[in-house]
């Protein structure tokens, strides 16, 4: 077991305490709900996509520190990116938290790197990816809710 401090890094706790873009996006043109039935975490991801670029991103919901921090960092990292780039970030992020040996592009991920500690806690991976699956659903315009199960 790696040190707890690797999991609960200061930046993560800071995002948990003061999540970025934690609001309802009034002019969102894409949104989706995510739900983790195992723990009851709920999230709504809002996007305003203009000409294939994510012009604005926000979220609302309840969840643990990991899911909250992950959602908070998600909104920061995809803001201003093309949809394709956002999907690329998710791919890199997914590798980061599921495979400790993955060859990831840390420049692409930025702050998200602090979530790498999750890879040592398999039961918590779902917490970290909930917002991202919800992002995908929002991008694809599915509209209905996604679950981690």
Partner 1 sequence: MSTTANTFDVARIREDFPILKEMINGKPLVYLDNAATSQKPQVVIDALVNYYMTENSNVHRGVHTLSQRATDSYEEARTKVQEFINAKEDKEVIFVRGTTEGINLVAQTYGRENIGPGDEIIISAMEHHSNIVPWQILCEEKGARLKVAPINDDGELLLDEFENLLSPRTKLVSIVHQSNALGTINPVEQIVELAHARGIPVLLDGAQAVAHVPVDVQKIGCDFYAFSGHKLYGPTGVGALYGRADLLNAMPPYQGGGEMIRSVTYEKTLYNVIPAKFEAGTQNIAGSVGLGAAIDYVNGVGMENIATYENELVAYGTEKLSEIEPVRLIGTARNKGSILSFVMENAHPHDVGTILDSEGVAVRTGHHCAQPLMDRYGVPATVRASLAFYNTREEIDTLVKGIDRVIEVFSR
**Contacting residues toward partner 1, per CB under 8 A:** 1, 4-5, 7-8, 10, 13, 17, 38-42, 62-66, 68, 121, 123-124, 127
Q: By C-beta, is 20 or 124 nearer to partner 1?
A: 124
**Separation in Å, CA 65 to CA 27, 30, 36, 102, 105:** 27, 25, 14, 24, 24
d(CA 13, CA 86): 24
Q: How far is the CB of 53 from partner 1 (least distance, A)?
A: 33
d(CA 66, CA 91): 18
What length is written for the chain?
149
Residue 147 φ/ψ, nearest 5 degrees: -130, 160
Q: By C-beta, is 39 or 79 nearer to partner 1?
A: 39
Q: By C-beta, is 11 or 79 nearer to partner 1?
A: 11
Q: By C-beta, is 3 or 101 nearer to partner 1?
A: 3
Q: How far is the CB of 55 from partner 1 (least distance, A)?
A: 31
User: Which residue, among 44, 57, 116, 53, has the nearest Cα to 83 in the 3D structure?
Assistant: 53
Q: Which two tokens stand for residue 59?
A: 């979220």
């Amino acid at each position: 077991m790696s040190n707890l401090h690797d999991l609960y890094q200061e930046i993560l706790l800071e995002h948990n305490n003061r999540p970025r873009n934690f609001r309802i996006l009034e002019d969102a043109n894409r949104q989706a709900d995510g739900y983790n039935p195992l723990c009851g975490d709920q999230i709504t991801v809002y996007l305003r996509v203009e000409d294939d670029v994510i012009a604005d991103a926000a979220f609302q919901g309840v969840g643990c520190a990991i899911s909250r921090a992950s959602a908070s960092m998600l909104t920061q990292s995809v803001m201003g990116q093309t949809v394709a780039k956002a999907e690329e970030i998710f791919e890199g992020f997914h590798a980061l938290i599921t495979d400790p040996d993955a060859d990831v592009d840390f420049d692409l991920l930025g702050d998200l790197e602090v979530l790498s500690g999750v890879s040592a806690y398999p039961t918590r991976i779902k917490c970290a990816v909930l917002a991202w699956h919800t992002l995908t659903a929002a991008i694809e315009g599915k509209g209905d809710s996604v679950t981690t199960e």
